[in-house]
Structure 1
Amino acid sequence: MGEVFSADVSRIRQWQNLMSDITEITDNSVRDFEAAARACLDWVGRDDSMAENLRPRDKKEREGASETGTSLMLAIGGISRALQVNGNVIQGAQNDAHEAIRDASKSSGKH
């Protein structure tokens, strides 16, 4: 007997929705971080030697955190889109199979 392929499209859709929700949370987190970071730009000082030494490192760390969060958001968004496409392909194949079974049973009288 051949292998059996089975897929539960509703579960794929659940994961797609979850990943979409996580993307939104991640996006909001990046925005919140950037807003909070802007609010405390002067913590390293303004015009003293400590500020001159720390400002470039602080800027680099803030940018790195934003880039990491954005990359994470894009990756999760990509997974969500891939799940959507995968679900659509599987649903289409299942619909085609059911239609073929209906057509075959109509012409043969068996199902």
Structure 2
Amino acid sequence: MGQVFSADVSRIRQWQNLMHDITEITENTVRDFEAEARACLDWVGRDDSMSEDLRPRDQKERETTTNTGASLMQAIGGIALALRVNGNIIQGAQDDAHEAIDNASGKSGKH
């Protein structure tokens, strides 16, 4: 007997929605981090040798953290998009199969 393919589109949609929610959470977290980081830019000082040494490292760490968060957000968003596309394809195949079964049973009276 051949292999059977089965997919639960509602579960795919649940995961898609979860990934979308996580994307929004990540986006908000990155935005909040950037706002909070701007609020404390002067913590390294302003005009002394220590601030001259720390400021570039501090700026690099802030940029790296922001870039990492943005990359994570894009990756999770990509997963949500892939799940949506997959769900649409599977739903379309299931709808087509159901329609074909309905058409065939309507003609023959059997299914």
- TM beyond 0.5: yes
| Partner residue, 1:25 | 25
Displacement of 1:16: 0.3
| Partner residue, 1:70 | 70
| Partner residue, 2:35 | 35
Unaligned runs of 5+ in 2: none
| Partner residue, 1:86 | 86
Of all paired residues, the percent bearing the same amino acid is 79
Q: Distance in 2 between matches of 1:99 and 1:107?
A: 12
| Partner residue, 1:60 | 60
| Partner residue, 2:98 | 98
Q: How many residues align?
A: 111
Amino acid at match of 1:96: D
Unaligned runs of 5+ in 1: none
| Partner residue, 1:13 | 13
Displacement of 1:68: 0.2
Amino acid at match of 1:91: Q
Displacement of 1:100: 0.5
Amino acid at match of 1:59: Q
Displacement of 1:97: 0.3
SS at match of 2:80: helix
Q: Distance in 1 between matches of 2:105 and 2:76?
A: 43
SS at match of 1:47: coil
SS at match of 2:6: coil
